[in-house]
Structure formats: C-alpha cells, structure tokens
Amino acid sequence: MLVTGSSRGIGAAIAVKAATEGATVAVHYVRALDKGAKTLERVRAAGVEAEAFRADVANGPQAEALVGEVIDRFGRIDGLVNNAGLTQVSPFLDITPEVWDAVIRTDLSAAFHTCRAALPSMVERGSGSIVNIASRLGQMGIAETAAYSAAKAGLIGFTRSLAREVGQRGVRVNAVAPGVVVTDMTTDLVESEEGKRRMRDMALGRFGRAEEVADTVVFLLSDRSALFTGQTLNPNAGGYMP
C-alpha cells in the first residue's frame, strides 16, 4: 500500500498501523527525508517489507511516477491513501492565486493523479481500496480556510463519483474526514484562542489523535469494510455531525 504524506502526523500513523496489520508499505515524503526515514524505521520494526519514496504529489507527473515506482518495487498497490495535504488559514481576500492553486494541487488534484495511475492495475485485478483524507472543514466550512475547505469538499465529491464508477469492478473508494487532530503540525492551533473555540465544538471534549484516525483508515483499507464505498467516515470527536 502507498500512503502519501506519510513522513509525519496522520500519514505516519496510518503507515505504522497498516504495517502492524501486515501490510507492505510505501512511505512517501517530499522534503523531510529525516522524518521519512524515521517513519520507514517504525514501519520496518513491525516486520513488514517497506520502502520510502520521494515525490512532489502537487506535481501531476511526479504523482503518477510515484505510483509507477511503487508498483515497480512491490509488484502491485492494493491500498492507496491520499493523505498529503497543505493547510491554509487566512482571510479570503488575502489568498493569492498562487496559494489557492498550491492548495488545490496538493489537497485535491494530487488524488486525481495518484488514482489515475493506480486504478488501471486495480481494475485489472478486480480488487483495491482507496482512502482519501478529507476534513470536517470540507463538510461544514469555516472562516478563513476557503482554499482548504474547497479542496477537501472537492475530495469528498471526487470520492463519491469515483466509487460509483469503479465499484462494480472490484475497487472501493472512501474518505475519512477528521476534525482537529493533535500533531506537530497543529500545535499552534491547539494552543491558540481559535483552538480553544474549536474545543467547545467537540462533543467528546477533546481533540483526536493521529492513531485514532489511522484506525479508521486501516479499517476502510481492510476486508472488514467490504460493504463500504463512497462513504465519508468522521473521526472528529463530535465536532461535526452530518
């Protein structure tokens, strides 16, 4: 399986959790070679075959080449997790076209390219599971996250459409929409006044952990979720109840 953006945070937790369940794992990073190597070490500690791959998935040809490299290395991709993402927090009128395009390329278009490259072999085998990491912000929206919310909402729509198209060919496509998850990337938010405001939205009275999101993703990758496709599961501590 391939997990994009798995050098840290939620992606790393997914890679490690999948490894503990016996999956062969392709770890992906773009700049953080040291963190990618650390994730790879944790994955291999579970006793599975694994390798790390570098690519900028915001670049379409690189995203598709990444999938090809993983298939060349391991022979197939049974599970694809589109986790790589770029956050954006700023008033709408402060968003430059360059920032808008970068967020859309990373958070939405990258999934188009990886799926485009991975699906032919999945369809040929008649099996495969794709999980796209969305966000509750793509479901409810929030001020000053227009680019991010738009990209994640698009990812949910993409998931549903693709699930209908490839379901009868043996491939399942689902999404996971976490709420605020405590990682090194969200430390500033969690400790800010905005973080305190969002905490009040959490019915469970706490934010999530990356490992809890990983449990949901690995469930969707596994045969235990055989009847799930086109779904968006919401490990969000009750921060949004669709």
* CB 149 within 8 Å of CB 139: no
Distance CA 68, CA 114 (A): 9
CB burial readout 155-168, b (16+ within 10 A) else e = bbebbbebbeebee
Q: Is the pLDDT of residue 21 over 80?
A: yes
Q: What is the pTM for the complete model shown? A: 0.95
pLDDT of residue 184: 72
pLDDT band for position 32 (cuts 50, 70, 90): confident
Query: Residue 46 has what DSSP assignment?
Result: T
Q: Is the pLDDT of residue 221 over 90?
A: yes
pLDDT of residue 240: 92
Structure tokens at 30: 């773009």
- Boundaries of domain holding 165: 2-180+210-233
Query: Residue 30 has what DSSP assignment?
Result: S
74: CATH: 3.40.50.720
Tell me whether residue 190 is in a domain.
Answer: no
Domain count, the chain: 1
Query: Could you read off the pLDDT of 131-171 as tens digits, one per residue?
Result: 999 999 999 988 999 999 999 999 999 999 999 999 999 99
* CB 8 within 8 Å of CB 39: yes
pLDDT of residue 190: 72
DSSP H helical ranges for 75-179? 97-104, 110-125, 137-140, 146-166
pLDDT band for position 194 (cuts 50, 70, 90): confident
pLDDT of residue 135: 96
* CB 21 within 8 Å of CB 46: no
**Strand-pair category, 2-3 with 128-133:** unpaired
Tell me whether residue 163 is in a domain.
Answer: yes
- Angle (CA) 73 59 25, round 5°: 30
Tell me whether residue 238 is in a domain.
Answer: no
Query: Could you read off the pLDDT of 43-70 as tens digits, one per residue?
Result: 999 999 999 999 999 999 999 999 999 9
Tell me whether residue 203 is in a domain.
Answer: no
Tell me whether residue 148 is in a domain.
Answer: yes
Tell me whether residue 192 is in a domain.
Answer: no
Q: How far does Cα 92 stand from its chain's mean position? A: 25
Q: Is the pLDDT of residue 83 over 90?
A: yes
Across the chain, what does the average pLDDT equal?
A: 95
Query: Could you read off the pLDDT of 86-142 as tens digits, one per residue?
Result: 999 999 999 999 999 999 999 999 999 999 999 999 999 999 999 999 999 999 988
pLDDT of residue 200: 84
pLDDT band for position 192 (cuts 50, 70, 90): confident
* CB 148 within 8 Å of CB 135: yes
Structure tokens at 217: 């993703």
Distance CA 91, CA 229 (A): 35
Could you give the residue numbers annotated as active site?
148
**Is 204 strand, coil or helix?**
coil
- Angle (CA) 181 163 220, round 5°: 40
Distance CA 172, CA 189 (A): 34
Q: Which residues pair with 175 in a beta bridge?
A: 132, 232
